[in-house]
């Protein structure tokens, strides 16, 4: 007779770290469907970020500015290198490019309203410029993208700046996709394509390859617009030192650098999570390139990808950026992923904060959709008010930190004001590991 | 006729003079001499003027043209008539890569050969090439017509949308989702008008028509080969 050992201690079930619940679910989904996952947003994995940096604040060697009253300037001028009409912004936070098509018309309008109230710029996206967007944006940057959907010289001249998009942080080296569910009559017409088909956005420009061609392309754009508009060049966070160098060589007024946390309307999850670098790892290389060319502050640097607060803004500026751009955070300020829609998120098989199937056009918040009923839920005036409030808070927070470091302009923040909490962040930001005077790779230390 | 010596005047001044012409200007005839392969000649025009370029041009000649007629008495560098909206551009010689790229409208006539990616991502432009076109021509072509009186290189019409392609000679290979299509009477009529507009004496019946099989219009993993 077998011995009854049911009362003996047993090994507890252990979930594999390698084969986690999420990984296993994805394997099952792939096995069932035969298609890879497409989603919106940026990298969700934990990567070294601005949270891993701290400001030192003032001490005996540096004295602070009074927290509320002493002047701490936040103005930024973009496009001082060649443009006859540089862009003047009141705050160092801009709105990143997001397309009409990916976003609803009212959502684009709200971005324009909020940015204008806050004294900053917003940016078009793939799909061209809508009259509503131009009308509600005092300062509008017109993206010049590989697809050239909606591109025309009249809109080019109506813009306040032109952004030549080479890549973006969510998918350096990749193109875009707008699924047929979001291709309304108006979106289709603006893109010269049939309604309801999946619209691909090319991964590279159709009429130039390489930095020498880009220089000539920028010359053409300047000639068409009478050398008035600042020309930005946007790159994903891949090889920031060389990309910045080449953008400057090609004649850019402004370099826009987007880290892997930067969002997209839709691409493969494998692309979002496995290509490109965190923005923290990119900024110092880009600044170094500008300094090596003696172009720091003459060619301005805008960074993006996971900017959420005034602390992130201040840290990005301290590392040498001139301004930041926000995309995902702006959508959240408008109402994306808001808990008020939790029931509907549940019905879509997701939850508040995790909703990322923006490409399906079923956004309960009415922001990333072209569905008339869902769009009607979103009030562009209220959205604009919320975005303005959020931008104002970010700016006040950045000023607070700058004053604590004794700076009368947010651009006076510098790497010496920072320490890092982790070895990785210290290496990427090239600031000392907290409690030491060392970072990995510091010249002269042998590491 | 107004004559601009590009060597003496400089690019900015030349383009400014041409761009300053109003829709009802009476200075309708212009001549550019000494182009010497300069880039961005006669870009961003928006008036019904006639510009003759006496020589060969560099990149992006007549880029984003509206209304104007630009004639190049030589060959054109990459991206001639890129993103053209309307008007006419005529190249007497050959054209380099990306001729007529992303053009939304108007007519581009190339009397010699066109290199690779002619008509790439075209969005409504009509292109008539008297000679041959290189590889990947009409890649992701959305709408408009590409007429090739000679031969076409590899991967013609790869990932094409709704553009019409007419080729008289051989096609080395067709790109993904591009197929030969029936030439119906309405297509012969369209082609006859395009050939006439392009100053080409070929007969429509000598051409074959190519277009989209529309199998890539909706996303499918099997397309990723």
Range of the domain at A47: 39-429
Confidence of residue B220 (pLDDT cuts 50, 70, 90): low
A193 and B142 in contact by Cβ < 8 A?
yes
How far A447 CA lies from chain B's nearest CA (Å)? 44
Best of B123, B145, B214, B222 to disrupt the A interface by mutation (most A CBs within 10 Å)?
B123
- Specify if A3 maps to a domain: no
Domain assignment present for residue B222? The answer is: no
Q: Are strands A418-420 and A53-55 parallel, antiparallel or unpaired?
A: antiparallel
Mind listing the pLDDT tens digit for each residue in B58-70?
999 999 999 999 9
Q: What is the CATH classification number for the domain harbouring B33?
A: 2.160.20.60
Give the three-state DSSP class for B27: coil
Is A11 a domain residue? no
Closest partner residue to A206 (CB to CB) among B11, B120, B162 is B120
Is residue B220 situated within a structural domain? no
For residue B74, tell me if it sits in a domain.
yes
User: Which pLDDT score is estimated for B104?
Assistant: 97
pLDDT of residue A69: 82
Q: What is the pLDDT of residue A194?
A: 81
Quick one: which of B54, B74, B72 has its CA closest to B5?
B54
Which domain, by its residues, includes B27?
A: 2-215
A93 is a domain residue: yes
Residue B201, min C-alpha distance to chain A (Å): 30
- CA dihedral (A106, A111, A117, A119) positive or negative: negative
Question: pLDDT tens-digit profile of B128-160?
Answer: 999 999 999 999 999 999 999 999 999 999 999
What's the structural domain count of chain B?
1
Residue indicated by tokens 């320490």:
A419
What would the pLDDT profile of B32-55 be if each residue is shown by its tens digit? 999 999 999 999 999 999 999 999
pLDDT on residue A314: 98
Domain contains A434: no
A1 within a domain of the structure (yes/no): no
Tally of structural domains, chain A:
1
- Residues A31-88 pLDDT 10s: 998 888 889 999 999 999 999 999 999 999 889 998 788 999 999 999 999 999 999 9
Q: Which of B120, B149, B121, B122 is nearest to B137 (CA)?
A: B120
- Whether B58 has its CB under 8 Å from any CB of chain A: the answer is yes
> What value does the mean pLDDT take over residues A349-364?
94
CB contact under 8 A, B140 and A200: yes
Give the model's pLDDT for residue B84: 98
Q: Model ipTM?
A: 0.96
Q: Give yes or no for residue B112 having a pLDDT over 50.
A: yes
Answer whether residue B225 is part of any domain: no
State whether A148 and B15 contact (CB < 8 Å).
no
pLDDT band at residue A254 using 50, 70 and 90 as cut-offs: very high
CATH code, A45: 3.20.20.70
Is the four-CA dihedral A355, A124, A390, A318 of positive or negative sign?
Answer: positive
A153 touches chain B (CB under 8 A): yes
Nearest-Cα residue of chain A relative to residue B81: A207
CB contact at 8 A, A280 and A427 = no
* pLDDT of A187 higher than 90: no
Mean pLDDT, chain B, rounded, equals 96
* Mean confidence (pLDDT) of chain A: 94
| Domain assignment present for A279 | yes
Indicate the range of A97-101, A116-120, B196-200 predicted with least confidence. Answer: A97-101
B223 pLDDT band, cuts 50/70/90, is: very low
Percent of residues, chain A, with pLDDT higher than 90: 82
**Any domain includes A363:** yes
Whether the predicted pLDDT of B173 surpasses 80: yes
pLDDT (average), residues A14-24: 95
Q: Judge whether B34 lies within some domain.
A: yes
Strand B123-129 and strand A231-236: the pairing is unpaired
């Amino acid at each position: 007779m077998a011995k009854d050992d049911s009362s003996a201690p047993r090994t507890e079930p252990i979930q594999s770290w390698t084969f986690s619940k999420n990984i296993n679910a994805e394997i099952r989904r792939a096995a069932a469907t035969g298609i890879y996952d497409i989603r919106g947003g940026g990298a969700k994995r934990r990567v070294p970020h601005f949270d891993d940096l701290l400001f030192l604040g003032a001490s005996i060697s540096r004295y602070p500015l009074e927290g509320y009253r002493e002047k701490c300037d936040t103005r930024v001028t973009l496009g001082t290198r060649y443009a006859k009409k540089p862009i003047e912004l009141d705050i160092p936070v801009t709105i990143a490019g997001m397309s009409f098509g990916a976003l609803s018309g009212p959502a684009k309008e709200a971005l324009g309203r909020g940015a204008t109230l806050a004294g900053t710029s917003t940016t078009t996206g793939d799909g061209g410029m809508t009259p509503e967007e131009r009308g509600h944006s005092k300062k509008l940057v017109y993206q010049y993208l590989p697809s050239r959907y909606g591109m025309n010289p009249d809109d080019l001249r109506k813009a306040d700046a032109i952004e030549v998009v080479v890549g973006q942080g969510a998918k350096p080296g990749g193109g875009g996709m707008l699924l047929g569910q979001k291709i309304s009559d108006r979106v289709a017409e603006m893109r010269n394509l049939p309604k309801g088909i999946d619209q691909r956005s090319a991964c590279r420009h159709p009429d130039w390859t390489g930095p020498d061609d880009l220089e000539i392309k920028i010359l053409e754009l300047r000639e068409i617009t009478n050398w008035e508009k600042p020309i930005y060049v946007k790159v994903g966070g891949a090889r920031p030192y060389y990309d910045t160098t080449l953008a400057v060589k090609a004649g850019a007024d402004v370099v826009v650098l987007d880290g892997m946390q930067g969002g997209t309307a839709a691409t493969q999850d494998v692309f979002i999570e496995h290509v490109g670098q965190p923005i923290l790892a990119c900024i110092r290389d880009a600044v170094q390139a500008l300094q090596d060319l003696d172009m720091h502050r003459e060619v301005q640097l805008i960074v993006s990808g996971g900017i959420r607060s005034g602390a992130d803004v201040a840290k990005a500026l301290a590392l040498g950026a001139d301004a930041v751009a926000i995309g995902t955070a702006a959508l959240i300020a408008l109402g994306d992923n808001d808990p008020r829609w939790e029931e509907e998120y549940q019905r879509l098989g997701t939850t508040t904060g995790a909703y990322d199937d923006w490409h399906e056009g079923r956004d309960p918040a009415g922001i990333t959709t072209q569905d008339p009923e869902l769009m009607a839920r979103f009030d562009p005036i209220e959205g604009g008010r919320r975005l303005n409030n959020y931008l104002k808070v970010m700016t006040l927070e950045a000023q607070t930190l700058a004053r604590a470091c004794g700076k009368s302009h947010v651009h006076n923040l510098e790497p010496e004001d920072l320490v890092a909490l982790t070895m990785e962040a210290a290496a990427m930001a090239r600031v000392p590991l907290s409690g030491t005077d060392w970072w990995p790779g510091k010249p002269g230390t042998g590491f | 006729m107004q004559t601009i010596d590009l060597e003496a005047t400089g690019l900015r001044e030349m383009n400014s003079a041409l761009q300053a012409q109003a829709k009802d200007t009476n200075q309708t005839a212009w001549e550019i001499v000494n182009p010497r392969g300069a880039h961005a000649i006669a870009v961003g025009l928006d008036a019904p003027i006639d510009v003759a370029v006496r020589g060969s041009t560099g990149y992006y000649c007549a880029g984003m043209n509206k209304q104007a007629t630009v004639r190049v008495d030589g060959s054109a560098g990459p991206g001639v008539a890129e993103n053209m909206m309307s008007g006419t551009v005529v190249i007497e010689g050959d054209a380099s890569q990306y001729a007529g790229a992303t053009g939304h409208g108007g007519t581009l006539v190339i009397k010699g050969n066109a290199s690779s990616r002619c008509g790439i991502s075209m969005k409504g432009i009509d292109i008539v090439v008297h000679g041959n076109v290189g590889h990947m021509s009409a890649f992701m072509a959305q709408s408009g017509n590409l007429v090739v009186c000679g031969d076409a290189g590899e991967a013609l019409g790869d990932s094409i949308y709704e553009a019409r392609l007419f080729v008289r000679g051989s096609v080395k290979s067709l790109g993904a989702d591009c197929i030969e299509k029936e030439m119906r009477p309405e297509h012969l009529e369209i082609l006859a008008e395009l050939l006439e507009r392009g100053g080409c004496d070929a007969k429509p019946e000598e051409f074959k028509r190519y277009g989209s099989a529309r199998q890539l219009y909706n996303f499918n993993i099997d397309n990723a080969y």
